[in-house]
Amino acid sequence: MIRALFSAGDPIWPEYQTTLPPAFAKAGLSVDLSRDHAPDTVDYIIAAPNGPVQDFTPFTRCKAVLNLWAGVEDIAPNPTLTQPLARMVDPGLTDGMVEWVVGHTMRHHLGLDVHVHGQDGQWRTDYPPLASQRPVTILGLGALGTACARALIGLGFPVTGWSRSQKAIDGVTCLSGNGGLRAALTDAQIVILLLPLTNATTNILDRQTLALLAPGSFIINPGRGPLIDDDDLLTALDANVAHATLDVFRVEPLPAQHPFWAHPKITVTPHIASTTRPETAALCIAENIRRGEAGEALLHLVDRTKGY
């Protein structure tokens, strides 16, 4: 019998208590799932960074920690976590992110605000350009960035993507490295951030890189708040950046008095771009445990040296 410990907050336990057992059965696994196994009996920990297990030292036979979230910046640096760590790549989470990114991209592309907020009797007939005339750049071409790139290509946008290692994705202009970042941002009209938060990505959009964006450009950040220098963003909103749609922030919840809330060129959404969906995530967790038991390589292992 495999022992799996669920270490996450109370509110999400009932959903996983319902979805994990059938997923384990489907994977042919016999798993004793609990929230209070003795540490030295646990084979796998299904974890959220803010879950009850913060000291992983006593979990001496634990083969892997399976993170419930895609982002690992709050768990990967834990010095007691010496076990292999896998991050979450969940089709439901990906679908949600694609929908959110496409929705906010289309809002800016079509200039929907003019009509949503402009019910003033004035007959405005400015036609928006076609998607093919609106270059989009996605920073980060991982599970989420690639899925968003494919969806936006499907709508006709010319998409440039930037990642650490060079990629080849049909229809996407793939760039990498520091020189690639400059090229990816120059002339971009919509920039979408889907990078993990690491030392290398913190403040990747700062005064210098923001200045590369085309006049009237839009920023959409569902990645992590510290990817953008807040003060430099405010400066850029007075210059070349027309609007920033931000889902993530340095401090969450974003304090009620924070200037972003009232800024006319910023849209705040409360970290809802997407989330792990228990029904599909349970299948991903079960597959990784199946792999672990079969001696196969786990999926989506975090590289501690890179931080994601």
The residues carrying an active-site annotation are: 224, 271
> Rounded to an integer, what distance in angstroms lies between the CA atom of residue 275 and that of residue 293?
27
Give me the 190-209 binding string for ligand NDP, x by CB under 6 A, dash otherwise. ----xxxxx-xx--------
Q: Which is nearer to ligand NDP, 118 or 270 (CB)?
A: 270
SS3 114: helix
Q: Which is nearer to ligand NDP, 15 or 95 (CB)?
A: 95
Q: Is 244 in the site for ligand NDP (CB under 6 A)?
A: no
> Rounded to an integer, what distance in angstroms lies between the CA atom of residue 32 and that of residue 270?
35
Is residue 3 a contact partner of residue 34, using CB atoms and an 8 Å limit? yes
User: Which listed residue (104, 108, 134, 164) binds ligand NDP by CB under 6 A?
Assistant: 164
| Only segment of 50-58, 156-164, 253-261, 287-295 that touches ligand NDP (CB under 6 A) | 156-164
Q: Is the peptide bond before 253 cis (omega within 30 degrees of 0)?
A: yes
| Only segment of 22-30, 104-112, 138-146, 211-219 that touches ligand NDP (CB under 6 A) | 138-146
Supply the angle between the helices 13-26 and 278-294 in degrees, to the nearest 10: 50
User: Which listed residue (21, 71, 111, 128) binds ligand NDP by CB under 6 A?
Assistant: 71
Chain residues 255-284 in contact with ligand NDP, contact rule CB under 6 A: 271, 273-274
Q: Is 143 in the site for ligand NDP (CB under 6 A)?
A: yes
Q: What dihedral angle (degrees, nearest 10) is formed by the CA atoms of 134, 140, 141, 143?
A: -120
SS3 18: helix
Q: Which is nearer to ligand NDP, 130 or 272 (CB)?
A: 272
CA atoms within 13 A on the CB side of 159: 27
Residue 55 CB burial class (10 angstroms; 0-12, 13-18, ≥19): exposed
Binding residues for ligand NDP, rule CB under 6 A, total 30
Interface residues toward ligand NDP, by CB under 6 A: 70-71, 89, 93, 140-145, 162-165, 194-198, 200-201, 222-224, 247-248, 271, 273-274, 308
